[in-house]
């Protein structure tokens, strides 16, 4: 479109030096940082390991699932029995009925207490954008992070699941609606997909949320804007059958207590053009069983009658049956973000770790043992042999004295203990990220080397939205780095991990927010002199020139429409321009030549420039 004075374009729019809890082969968590950055678009930070609460010790402890060790502890006084722990990028949360205690994962100290919105025990979900607490009976979702945000779901819900993109999925038990809470959304959105009276549960198959309907014996995909069509699973399920929250190598476990049967359903039936495989059934002996869950490639089930952990392959083959320590209390299954399953004892005294392949390992929980020294242990002290009564010589009346018999003694035994092998480094102490100008200055203390010198620190940073992720590698002597050019108003999660010959430790994290977003402003001055080509009579040099427009403080990467104005006879419909990542844009447009007249520019978000008196060339 042409105007009288220009072209118009269409509007497009560890509170203490880390006290290790170790037995002879303890391993510490570690984290560190580096320089020489290279971008990592779309970087997502997985939450390694699992935190547990031990009311008997008044401690919260970190279980390193890979190393099978307890690597860090946070003292928390007055832990409620039954408390659970959920972690976010930089903080952990001890969840009780009466209080939520927040602690820093980097400095290992308590830094706040929150009040839960309900007196019931919530379901815990660790996911990008969370963590989340789901109060199922109350129908309420709590997002933890910068405080506590309570979001209503509208009614009681089933067991929640989360897809890798951070979306939380729920099914309403009263109406049959399927609900989702997107990573950055403030609303739980529900849609009537199932209808009232349908039973079943949600699960994750690969990276998709699915619903196993035990009323119609079907499975359907629920991720995306529209639900998938239900597909028959080829099996009659009891309405009360329990669904595992994730698949194991493409099979979703379903526990049918009425039939004393564990069934493995083919989640690949949802793939277009693929015939469904028959369900695999595993007969179970009489007993009481927990709801099933899954590691990456194995199904995990608790036999509560025999106090045993059972693991099965995706083909239904039993892989391992492991007794749960009797003093562990009532156990429960927790699926970690590392795709391991943790069997928590109700009293926080033992943890069993189920690896992705179904192998089960026991991790004792104790704070009574002192750290093992780094030097090789000394041989045990040999006790002197017990005193024996003297042997009397043989004295005979009719012959000479016989010498006493020679007493044989065994040589002393010296038993050397095996040296403790190196393990990945510990968590760097006091990780801090501070904003200085437009940069983040990151500092940390040395990570425990754990019997092998720290050779490198690896640093990554991830913005809360948009581009700007990156990584850097620094030598083992480094204690700081600088992240340049933080975007205004954007929060970055900074992660530091240490590395030695035994591998990398678990990351320490901190957050830093870029410079404050400046107040939105538009500035107008005279730009390049020229003649309005479509009609020189309308605007000619030397009086005619473009308006030079500088825009700052607007939303980043957003299109705005700008319109020029004059306290005179002038008409121009304006043009649209898109701001950069910092919310700024500079352009020259809008031919004008009325010397001595005032001009100004407005945007479609209500911002106006100051009035500018047009000067001669």
CATH code 2.60.40.420 for 199-365: no
Q: Is the pLDDT of residue 131 over 50?
A: yes
Q: Is the pLDDT of residue 384 over 80?
A: no
57-71: pLDDT as tens digits: 889 989 888 888 888
Closest CA to 414 of 375, 385, 382, 386: 382
Instruction: Please tell me the distance from the alpha carbon of residue 407 to that of residue 49, in angstroms, as a whole number.
Output: 59
262-312: pLDDT as tens digits: 999 988 777 656 667 889 999 998 888 888 999 989 999 988 888 899 999
Residue 221 is predicted with a pLDDT of 87
Give the pLDDT mean for 122-143: 90
Contacts of residue 536, defined as CB under 8 A and 6 or more positions apart, other chains included, come to none
Residue 565 is predicted with a pLDDT of 95
Residue 222 is predicted with a pLDDT of 86
Confidence of residue 419 (pLDDT cuts 50, 70, 90): low
The alpha helices in 85-230, defined as continuous H runs, are: none
Instruction: Please tell me the distance from the alpha carbon of residue 562 to that of residue 608, in angstroms, as a whole number.
Output: 9
Question: Which helix (H) or strand (E) is 459 found in, with range?
Answer: strand 456-463
**Which residues face 493 on adjacent strands?**
462, 511
Percent of the chain with pLDDT over 90: 35
Closest CA to 261 of 235, 288, 293, 285: 285
Peptide bond into 542 cis (omega under 30): yes
Q: DSSP readout, 196-243?
A: TT--EEEEEETTEEEEEETTTTEEEE--SSSPPPPEE-SS---TTPEE
397-408: pLDDT as tens digits: 444 444 444 444
Q: Is the pLDDT of residue 379 over 50?
A: no
Instruction: Please tell me the distance from the alpha carbon of residue 324 to that of residue 303, in angstroms, as a whole number.
Output: 10
All structural domains of the chain with their residue ranges: 199-365, 517-613
Q: Are 382 and 364 in contact (CB under 8 A)?
A: no
Q: Is the pLDDT of residue 19 over 50?
A: no
Q: Is the pLDDT of residue 154 over 60?
A: yes
Q: Is 185 helix (H, G, I), strand (E, B) or coil?
A: coil
Would you state the torsion angle of the CA atoms of residues 521, 526, 527, 531, taken in this order, to the nearest 10 degrees?
130
Average pLDDT over the chain reads 80
Least confident of 132-136, 382-386, 532-536: 382-386
Residue 395 is predicted with a pLDDT of 41
Q: Are 485 and 439 in contact (CB under 8 A)?
A: yes
222-246: pLDDT as tens digits: 876 666 788 888 888 888 889 999 9
Which tokens go with 4? 């009288």
Q: CA neighbours within 13 Å on the CB side: how many for 606? A: 1
CB atoms within 10 A of CB 519: 8
Residue 273 is predicted with a pLDDT of 60
- Is residue 217 left, alpha or beta, with left meaning phi > 0 and alpha meaning psi from -120 to 50? left
Q: Are 108 and 14 in contact (CB under 8 A)?
A: yes
**Which residues face 470 on adjacent strands?**
39, 461
Fold of 517-613: Immunoglobulin-like (2.60.40)
**Which residues face 491 on adjacent strands?**
513
Q: Is the pLDDT of residue 550 over 80?
A: yes
Instruction: Please tell me the distance from the alpha carbon of residue 588 to that of residue 343, in angstroms, as a whole number.
Output: 65
Higher pLDDT pick, 336 / 608? 608
Confidence of residue 574 (pLDDT cuts 50, 70, 90): very high
Higher pLDDT pick, 430 / 309? 309
Least confident of 148-157, 186-195, 556-565: 186-195
- DSSP character at residue 225: S
Instruction: Please tell me the distance from the alpha carbon of residue 86 to that of residue 348, in angstroms, as a whole number.
Output: 15
Reported pTM: 0.56
Angle, CA of 50, 54 and 60, to the nearest 5°: 50
Higher pLDDT pick, 381 / 54? 54
Confidence of residue 545 (pLDDT cuts 50, 70, 90): very high
Least confident of 205-214, 281-290, 342-351, 580-589: 342-351
Higher pLDDT pick, 595 / 347? 595
């Amino acid at each position: 479109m042409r105007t009288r004075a220009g072209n118009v374009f269409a509007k497009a729019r560890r509170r203490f030096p880390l006290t290790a809890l170790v037995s002879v082969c303890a391993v510490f968590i570690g984290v560190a940082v580096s320089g020489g950055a290279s971008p990592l678009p779309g970087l997502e930070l997985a939450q390694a390991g699992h935190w547990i609460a031990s009311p008997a010790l008044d401690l919260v402890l970190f279980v390193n699932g890979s190393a099978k060790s307890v690597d860090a502890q946070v003292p928390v006084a007055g832990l409620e029995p039954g408390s659970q722990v959920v972690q976010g990028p930089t903080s952990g949360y001890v969840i009780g009925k009466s209080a939520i205690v927040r602690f820093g994962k980097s400095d290992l100290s308590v830094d706040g207490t929150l009040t839960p919105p309900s007196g019931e025990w919530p379901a815990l979900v660790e996911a990008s954008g969370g963590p989340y607490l789901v109060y199922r009976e109350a129908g309420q979702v709590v997002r933890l992070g910068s405080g506590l945000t309570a979001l209503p779901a509208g009614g009681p819900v089933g067991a929640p699941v989360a897809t890798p993109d951070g979306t939380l999925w729920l099914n309403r038990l009263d109406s049959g609606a399927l609900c989702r809470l997107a990573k950055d959304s403030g609303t739980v959105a529900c849609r009537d997909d199932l209808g009232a009276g349908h039973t079943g549960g949600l699960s994750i198959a690969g990276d998709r949320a699915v619903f196993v309907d035990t009323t119609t014996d079907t499975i359907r995909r629920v991720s995306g804007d529209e639900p998938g069509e239900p597909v028959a699973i080829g099996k009659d399920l009891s309405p009360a059958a329990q669904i595992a929250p994730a698949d194991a190598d493409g099979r979703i476990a379903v526990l049918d207590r009425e039939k004393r049967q564990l069934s493995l359903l083919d989640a690949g039936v949802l793939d277009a053009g693929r015939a469904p495989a028959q369900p695999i059934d595993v007969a179970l002996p009489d007993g009481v069983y927990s709801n099933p869950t899954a590691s990456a490639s194995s199904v995990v089930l608790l036999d509560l009658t025999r106090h045993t952990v059972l693991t099965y392959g995706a083909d239904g083959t039993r892989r391992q049956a492991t007794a749960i320590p009797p003093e562990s209390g009532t156990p429960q299954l927790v699926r970690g973000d590392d795709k391991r399953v943790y069997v928590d004892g109700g009293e926080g005294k033992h943890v069993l770790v189920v690896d992705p392949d179904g192998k089960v390992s026991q991790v004792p929980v104790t704070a009574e043992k002192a750290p093992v020294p780094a030097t090789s242990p000394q041989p045990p002290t040999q006790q002197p042999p017990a005193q024996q009564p003297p042997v009397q010589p043989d004295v005979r009346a009719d012959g000479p004295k016989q010498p006493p018999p020679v007493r044989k003694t065994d040589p002393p035994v010296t038993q050397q203990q095996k040296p403790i092998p190196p393990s990945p480094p510990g968590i760097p102490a006091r990780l801090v990220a501070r904003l200085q100008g437009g940069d983040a200055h990151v500092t940390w203390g040395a990570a425990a080397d754990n019997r092998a010198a720290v050779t490198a620190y690896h640093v990554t940073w991830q913005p809360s939205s948009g581009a700007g992720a990156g990584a850097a590698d620094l030598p083992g002597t480094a204690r700081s780095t600088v992240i340049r050019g933080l975007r205004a108003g954007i929060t970055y999660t900074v992660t530091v991990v240490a590395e030695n010959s035994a591998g990398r430790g678990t990351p320490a994290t901190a957050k830093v927010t870029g410079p404050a977003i400046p107040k939105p402003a538009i500035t107008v001055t005279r730009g390049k002199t020229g003649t309005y080509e479509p009609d020189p009579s309308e605007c000619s040099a030397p009086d005619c020139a473009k308006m030079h427009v500088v825009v700052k403080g607007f939303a980043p990467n957003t299109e705005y429409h700008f319109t020029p104005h004059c306290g005179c006879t002038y008409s121009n419909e304006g043009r649209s321009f898109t701001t950069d990542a910092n919310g700024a844009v500079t352009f020259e447009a809008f031919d004008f030549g009325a010397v001595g007249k005032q001009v100004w520019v407005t945007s479609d978000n209500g911002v106006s420039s100051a009035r500018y008196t047009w000067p001669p060339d």
